Every structure is written in C-alpha cells, then in structure tokens.
Chains A and B, each alone.
Chain A
Amino acid sequence: MSRTWLLLLGAAATVGFAAIVLVGIPRIMLVRIEAPPQLAPYTDLEARGRAVYIANGCVYCHSQQIRDPAFTTDVELGWGSRATVPADYVYDRPHLLGTMRTGPDLINVGERLPSASWHLIHLYNPRALVSWSIMPSFRYLFEEREPGDVRPGDVVVSVQPPYAPPGKVVVATPDAQALVAYLLSLRRTYPVPAADTGAARGMSRMP
C-alpha cells in the first residue's frame, strides 16, 4: 500500500462498522426495555453503598449475573432461581456484571444472606464467619473504639474473639452500613418480566 488516505479511511471503516454492530444497533434495541414493577430504583443509601462497592473493587472478584440453566449450573448452585435478563439491570449505571468468581455471584445475595449483622461481621473480617475465605478484611470501613466511646445510634458489630480487636468495640462507618444496604438490595427473585421487549426476547437461550 502506498496511499495514506486509503489506510486511514479503511481503518476508520472497520472500527466504524464494529461500533455500529456492537454499540449502535444494541442502543436502538435496548433503550426500550422497561423496568420490572417489582424492581425498585436504588435508595440514596443503597446508591451510596453501590459507590462503596465500586470504589473498593468488589467487582473484580464477584459477578452479578446468572447464566442460563441450559448452559451452566448457576441456578443449581443456588445463586439464583432463573437466568438474569436485561430488564434486571435497568437502574445499573455503570453495569457491575463482573468477569470473575473468585468469590460467589452476588446478584441474589440479599435473598441468600439477608442478615445485615452477618454482612457487617463478614466485611470486618471474612474469616470470623468463613474460615477458608480469601476475601480481604475491610477493617478500614469500621472504627475500633474504646467501649466508653460508643454513642447511641452507633452500629456496633458483634465480632467475636479472636477476630475482635482486644479491648475495643467495632463500629460500622456510614460507608459500611451503606454497602450492606446495597448488598441486601440485590435480589432478582421475581419472574422474568412479562412485558419483555423485542431486544430481550430469546436473548439468553442457547441457540
């Protein structure tokens, strides 16, 4: 090749074609998805928790998607009752579908593990509840206070020895409380939305 314009135009054409196919056409199809009536938008507290989830990189070890039962065993593993569909994610910006399962999938964690106190202890030190866990301790989302410094309204986390700091009381920061509120909001247990859009129809079945 000896023509610069041919190179530049050709290169622009290939990337442009891919952008039309994988970004442009889906844009036209997916904007018509309506929110399922059972799925509530995130509250301010849950939205703050979602920001904490993003800030600390939870997505690098936890997915938020159930794949089709015909294709994988995600449902049999107890991670959800059905495959997730585009309508389940209408309030997610950005998406947190994830690409790793170093830890379990979390799209239904609010259904599977509904106890806020369990989550607070687990975030403070996962090994206090799950001996084989390799999840990091998120100690920095908690305050370790003298027993006399606990004020009314503080969320005290009942960490047991040997995981409790000696002589101190563990108090959840607002960030930790928001994160737990977000985790508890994660549940996609309603049936697949009946008013499925054209884009969503047949999207997850194996061909």
Chain B
Amino acid sequence: MGRRHVSRQDATLPFRGDVEIRLRADASSRAPALVFFSTALVWLLFGSIEGTLASLKLHMPDLLTSAGWLTFGRVRTAHLNAVNYGWASLASIGVALWIIPRLVHTELRWPRVATAGAVVWNVGLVIGIALILAGRNDGLEWLEMDRYLADPFLVVGGGMAGVTLLATLLARQSGHLYVTVWYTIAAFLWFPVIFVIGNWPTWTGVESAAVNWFYAHNALGLWFTPMGVGAAYYFIPKVLGRPVYSYQLSILGFWTLAFFYALNGMHHLIGGPVPTWMITTSIVASVLMVIPVLAVAVNHHMTMVGRFGALRYSPTLRFVVLGAISYTAVSLQGSFTALREVNRVTHFTHWTVAHAHVGVYAFVTMVLFGSMYYIVPRLVRREWPSARLIQWHFWLVLAGIALYIIPLTLAGGFQGLAMLDPAVPFQRSIEVTRWALVSRSAAGVLLTTGHAIFAYHFWLMVRRRGPTREVPPFHEPVPVVYERPEGQA
C-alpha cells in the first residue's frame, strides 16, 4: 500500500478529510477495543474482590481458612495476576488498538485477529489464575501463572494484537510518528522479550532471583509504563487542543527510559546474595531514571500550564493528569527507595506494597480510566449517560487510593525501623502496621465500589441504556438568570 508522506507541519494542522479519517479509524478498532475493555473490567472487579479479601486476612487471620483456594498466599496472588495481566494489560492493549490507527491516519488492519487475540489472552488468564487458586504456580513473583499451560496464551494473544498494530503502522498515512506511537510499539516489542526470559525454565538459585526481578521490574518499566506514559502523551494535548510542549524533551524522555529502566530490577535484591556489581548497576540506573521522569513531567506540566481549569469539565483530563502526576511521584519515590540507606529500612516492608500501588494504580489505572472515558464514547457513538456516576467513580477511587497509599507507606517505614532494631521484639513490627492494614481494607472497599460503579456505567454505555445526551457530561448549557441591579430601569 502506498504511503502518503505529509510534512510534519501539515500533519498537525486540521485538513480536509481529517474528521472522516478519525471516524474510519474509530470504526475499525471498535470491536477489538470493546472486547479488550469489557474483559479488562471483569478482571478488575474480580481482582478488586480478591485484593480486598487478601487485605482483610492480614488483620483477620482466621477469616475463611477452610480451603486452600481461600488462603492468603493464593488469594493475594490471584489478585496480582488478575489486576496486572487482566485489568491493566487488557485495558492498555484496548487503548493501543484505538490510539494507533488514530495517530497514523488509517484503519486498524486485521481487527478480527486482534479480537481473537483478546480471547486467547483471556483463556490463558482463566487457566493461569484457576491453577494458582488450585495450588499450582511457578513460584516466582509476578510470574506465578503456569509457564506451559497459561503463559503461552498471553504471548500468542498479545502477539496477535501486536501484529495488527504493526501492520497498521506499516500502512500508515501519516509521515511523522507521534511520541505515543514510539512508547506503544516499543512496549509490544519489549513485553514478549522480558516475559519469555522471565519464564525460561532453566534458572536456578540466585540466578533465578536475578531473572525474576529483571522481569518483574520491567513488567512495570517496559510494559505498563510506556503504555501509560504514551496514553498520557496523547490525551493531555488532545483534550486541551494544544501541542505537546517540547518534541526534544519527548525524544530525550523516551530513549533514556528505554535505556535506564531496563536495568533497574536488581534494586529489589539490595543486600541480598547476588553479586554486588549487579545491585550497584541497578541502583545507578534507578537514580538515572530521574532524567526520563523529569523530562516527561516537565513536558506534561508545560502542556497543562494555564489550563488546569479544564480539569473541571473533562473526566479524561482529570484521571489522566492525576495519573501523570502519580507517575512522577512513584518514579522519584522509586529512585529514592533504591538508595542503600533508605532500602535497608524499607526493604521487606509494606512500604514496597504501597509503592507498587502508586505505580500500577495511581499512575497506570488512573490513566486507563481517563483513556476509557475518552475512547468508549467514540466507539459506541454516544455520550456517557451519567455525570453523577463519573463523579462517584472519581472521588471513590481517589479517596480509596489515598487511604491505601498514605497509611501503608508510613506504616512500612515504622515496620522497617522496628525490624532494624535488635532490642525490639519482632512482634513490634507487626503491631506498628496493624492500623494501616485495617485502613487498607477500608480502602479496598472504596476502590471496589468505585470499580463496580465504573463497570456499571460502561455496561449502560455499550448496552445503550440510560439517558441519551446531546453533549458530553459536564458540558450542559446552564441557564444563567441575570438579575438587573436594583434601581435600574
């Protein structure tokens, strides 16, 4: 297929046919994106319930102990796999399938292959999580799903979505590749590489630990992060209708992230029995992450500056900006935590659990919620029926994640200090966290409720239930009663 080269300046200007191209692109990704989104939401609800149950068990240890599939170690693992490989991965792929055709000005190629990819990925997840609950897992954090019976489905299913995106990219009608395209396409290349290395069955001893954390950190750094940052790079300028602040900063941010993030994993083993040079390499790379993070943060902030009022009218912008701010926060916290003097306190504590939720929830999940608020109306060609449900969703998940992160981070610090003091009995390190474990369960209830509201709203949307709106929520014209000042004729 011939490719029409458009100069960069032309591509950024609205030109004749622009609207038609967008409509054709949206229509082409409709079916696969909706399948990815709806199954992602099912996993989000399941994962939220499993997560809340796991949280309750840490302060109510005799709750539901009659069967193996209800024990903390399996419920917690089902939660992690459901929210990461179910919710966050499937929703990210759905966003990618919609965004890439939009950005390269053409239809999604082979959309049925992508839809079939969603089915294949979900089959793998059902098998993997059922086996975890039944007591069969690979024993490696983030890689628990069975490497022979479940994981191949994820590689093939993700590959099917990736191939449609690559075919779309090669058939592109735009000359320039926008920054979101770099992040998204790179993530589709990186994920299978790290996932196969992580699952390779021959690693033994401390080598197994090194490969484990090479994978697990890159699952965040080279899969969720580029998907989330890429989406934020798309939606912030899109909603505001102004270009990204700096092209040079986006180039710098992308390549430094690609180079430094991939080397971060060993900071999960600081002080552990692996060669010191490996750990030092990862600490240096973790600190260098400040460069891509600040490049992205400055770029996003300078794009937003002067337009923060728009947060009131766009749920997309509200969720995405919150996610982008969290990305900066979680990354700087990560660089800080990788320092040896900090890590000797925070390692092995709930600080890390809270940190992981700043990353996958406050950053990635918030960006995904915001993306879906923008994309789904363009797939089903109607506006979200209820402004109130959007408000409830936003405030519940914001309150929930704040109640999760702040107490658990503090308690993790107290726990670490208690564990470092040989004069203090181990019991103390549990007592200082109990209040935060309880508040985390309350947070789990708030988050799960918020997710149920969002899933219900999504269901209303795709089933075409609820009121039909002429304008997006928060954009209704409000009659203004003008009262003439006293004494004027």
Contact = CB atoms under 8 A, between A and B. Distances in A.
B245 to A, nearest CB: 17
Contacts of B268: 99
A76 to B, nearest CB: 4
B271 interface: yes
Contacts of A10: 255, 258
B276 A90 contact: no
B286 to A, nearest CB: 13
A77 B429 CA distance: 13
A135 B61 CA distance: 6
7 contacts: A23-B197, A94-B208, A99-B348, A136-B73, A140-B67, A204-B272, A205-B276
Interface in B192-217: 193-194, 197, 203-212, 214
Given A17-B262, A18-B214, A65-B272, A4 B177 contact: yes
Interface string B246-271: 00000100010011001101101101
A73 B422 CA distance: 7
Interface in B309-350: 340, 344, 347-350
Contacts of A83: 273
Contacts of B77: 57, 60
Given A1-B251, A26-B210, A58-B73, A132 B431 contact: yes
B206 A89 contact: yes
Interface stretch (A100-108, A113-121, A149-157): A100-108
B413 to A, nearest CB: 14
Interface residues of B, number: 87
Contact of B185 (A7, A59, A102, A126): A7
Given A72-B271, A207-B280, A136 B177 contact: no
Interface string B130-152: 00000111111100000000000
A22 interface: yes
Interface stretch (A27-35, A41-49, A179-187): A27-35
Secondary structure class of chain B's binding surface, majority of residues: helix
Contacts of A129: none
B172 to A, nearest CB: 8
A8 to B, nearest CB: 6
Nearest to B185: A7
A89 B76 CA distance: 26
Interface size class of A (residues with CB under 8 A): 35 or more
Contacts of A133: 61
A195 interface: no
Contacts of B218: 15, 18
Identify the 10 closest CB pairs spanning chains A and B, nearest first: A57-B73, A18-B262, A67-B271, A101-B348, A55-B135, A89-B205, A11-B186, A54-B139, A95-B208, A14-B258
Given A84-B273, A90-B204, A205-B276, A137 B281 contact: no
A58 B77 CA distance: 11
Interface core residue of A18, A132, A200 (most chain B CB under 10 Å) = A18
A8 B185 contact: yes
Contact of A92 (B177, B204, B251): B204
Given A18-B214, A22-B266, A94 B258 contact: no
Given A85-B273, A139-B66, A59 B141 contact: yes
Contact of A140 (B65, B205, B281): B65
A60 B177 contact: no
Contact of A137 (B59, B65, B262): B65
A101 B420 CA distance: 12
B9 interface: no
A134 interface: yes
A56 B74 contact: yes
Given A19-B193, A22-B265, A94-B203, 17 more contacts: A7-B181, A15-B194, A19-B197, A22-B278, A56-B68, A56-B71, A67-B344, A71-B344, A73-B422, A88-B273, A92-B204, A93-B208, A94-B208, A132-B427, A136-B57, A136-B71, A137-B62
